[in-house]
């Protein structure tokens, strides 16, 4: 038994090791909620179907992964808040040489860099909460019903697929948001007091613990491909109910869709995603079948199909789920028109930003031809970012933790960026003192060569 040593971050959590070498675990110490071993050495299970054993085992991982998603949603919010608040106060350059400088939030490129993460924070916060509620309701029903295990196992596979795809999406989004925020805040973002550095090292392990993101995504895509090939859809939560219209969806293209469903509607983005998911399922299935026909084992065929479509499929599924949960939640709210338009702007920024990431697949798959689709998506994204500019700080204030929790000198709620920075510099321990070793690096009576 020992300690593994210091880590890159999260050193408040002490990790150690324990080694067992040919050590017998007594029967009485086995964890036996779903299965057991008799004194005679026979294995017993409460399930008659092997698939249900796996479902119950997978469910036990879900709570921890949901916790990671919630933590990542909070981290994503914090990174977006720091970037937006800083950009609203930091001024650089301007249209006139002798004129007043502009806040960097006014620049289109800066909006394009940071606003998608602000929108992602809002959408993912809601989507994660909705998934948590769904999970807790299933657990509550399973504990209250006499057929609790059946309820649990019926939903376990879909819950596992949702979490296995959503955990990578949100942890990677938070990781990227922290990095973009750090760069968007320039050298000030690199200060320890800005907290982005500590946030980055503390968040980084979330991408690999409780399931490595790239491995989890494969589990989600496996479930999706089973649904694509199944004679009867098994989606009690309804996350892939659109597969019932797969033929109609695959027949869609941008020209036909935009005639019936304008880009200004929620449904435009959702229909695009439903086409995308159907296309990726069909393409990946075809690729796997080709690998099998070439003599590969099923294990090899699946491994060789990740880049061909399975990896993108898993992420697109999580993105689609987040967007549908956001629309479902926001549609139930009773809010005044100005606030409703802001909620819509957040959706447009996030949805268009995500659709841009899949643009190659939309064109290769035949959904779009020519420049119209990509140009329309890009223009709506830029227009939405511009409209979001005037309310971005208010949104950041709404999702921000208190100053003592955010603990960033460059993003306090008072907006006094320069005053807070100056105070931080002036009160920094040893700020006006020479280091004890300063004489060691001074060359006595050094002469200039100029």
Q: How far apart are CA 190 and CA 386, in angstroms?
A: 27
Domain boundaries, the chain: 50-234+248-399
Question: Could you give the count of Cα atoms lying within 13 Å of 189 in the half-sphere of its Cβ?
Answer: 23
How many C-beta atoms lie closer than 10 Å to residue 393's C-beta? Answer: 19
| Residue whose entry in the numeric block shows the structure tokens 């993105």 | 319
| Whole-structure pTM value | 0.90
Report the chain's mean pLDDT, rounded to a whole number: 91
Provide the percentage of residues in the chain whose pLDDT is more than 90.
72
pLDDT at residue 37, as a whole number: 87
Q: How far apart are CA 156 and CA 149, in angstroms?
A: 10
Of 2-6, 28-32, 329-333, give the lowest mean pLDDT range: 28-32
Give 63-79 pLDDT, tens digit per residue. Answer: 889 999 999 999 999 99
Q: Which residues contact 449 (CB under 8 A, 6 or more apart)?
A: none
Of 46, 261, 236, whose CA–CA distance to 157 is shortest? 236
| pLDDT-based confidence at residue 148 (cuts at 50, 70, 90) | low
Q: How far apart are CA 176 and CA 182, in angstroms?
A: 10
Residue 158: strand, helix, or coil? helix
DSSP code per residue over 14-67? --EE---SSPPPPGGGS--SSEEE-TTS-EEES-SSHHHHHHHHHHHHHHHHHH
210 is an active site residue: yes
Kindly state the DSSP code that residue 100 receives in the 8-state scheme. P
**What pairs with residue 2 in β-bridges?**
17
Q: Which whole-number Å values give the CA distances from 356 to 48, 110, 281, 350, 378, in the listed order?
A: 46, 17, 19, 10, 7
**Backbone phi and psi for residue 91, each to the nearest 5 degrees, phi listed first:** -115, 135
Q: What integer is the mean pLDDT of 194-218? A: 93
Architecture of domain 50-234+248-399: Up-down Bundle (1.20)
Q: Cα 369–370–373 angle (5° rounding)?
A: 80
């Amino acid at each position: 038994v020992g300690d593994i040593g210091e880590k890159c971050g999260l050193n408040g959590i002490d990790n150690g090791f324990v080694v067992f070498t040919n050590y017998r675990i007594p029967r009485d110490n086995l964890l036996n909620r779903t299965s057991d071993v008799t004194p005679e050495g026979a294995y017993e299970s409460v399930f008659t179907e092997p698939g249900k054993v796996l479902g119950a085992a997978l469910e036990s991982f879900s709570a921890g992964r949901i916790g990671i998603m919630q933590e990542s949603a909070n981290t994503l919010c914090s990174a977006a808040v720091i970037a937006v608040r800083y950009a609203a106060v930091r001024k650089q350059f301007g249209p006139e040489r002798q004129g007043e400088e502009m806040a960097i939030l006014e620049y289109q490129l800066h909006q394009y860099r940071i606003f998608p993460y602000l929108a992602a924070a809002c959408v993912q916060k809601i989507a994660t909460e909705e998934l948590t509620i769904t999970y807790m309701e299933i657990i509550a029903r399973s504990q209250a019903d006499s057929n609790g295990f059946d309820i649990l196992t019926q939903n376990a596979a879909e819950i596992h697929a949702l979490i296995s795809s959503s955990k990578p999406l949100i942890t990677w989004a938070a990781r990227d948001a922290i990095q973009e925020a750090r760069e968007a805040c320039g050298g000030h973002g690199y200060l320890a007091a800005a907290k982005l550095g500590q946030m980055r090292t503390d968040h980084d392990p979330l991408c690999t613990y409780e399931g490595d993101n790239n491995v989890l995504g494969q589990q989600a895509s496996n479930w999706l491909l089973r649904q694509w090939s199944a004679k009867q859809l098994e989606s009690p939560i309804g996350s892939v109910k659109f597969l019932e219209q797969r033929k109609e969806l695959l027949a869609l293209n941008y020209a036909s869709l935009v005639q019936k469903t304008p880009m200004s509607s929620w449904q435009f983005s959702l229909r695009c995603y439903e086409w995308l998911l159907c296309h990726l399922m069909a393409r990946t299935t075809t690729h796997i079948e080709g690998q099998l026909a070439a003599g590969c084992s099923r294990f090899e065929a699946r491994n060789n199909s990740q880049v061909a479509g399975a990896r993108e499929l898993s992420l697109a599924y999580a993105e689609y789920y987040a967007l549908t949960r956001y629309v479902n939640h926001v549609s139930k709210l009773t809010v005044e028109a100005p606030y409703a338009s802001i909620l819509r702007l957040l959706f447009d920024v996030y949805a268009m930003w995500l659709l841009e990431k899949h643009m190659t697949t939309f064109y290769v798959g035949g959904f779009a031809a020519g420049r119209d689709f990509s140009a329309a998506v890009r223009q709506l994204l830029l227009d939405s970012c511009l409209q979001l500019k005037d309310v971005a700080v208010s949104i950041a204030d709404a999702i921000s933790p208190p100053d003592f929790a955010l603990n960033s000198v460059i993003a306090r709620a008072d907006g006094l960026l320069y005053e807070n920075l100056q105070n931080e510099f002036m009160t920094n321990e040893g700020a006006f003192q020479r280091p004890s070793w300063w004489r060691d690096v001074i060359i006595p009576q050094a002469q200039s060569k100029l």
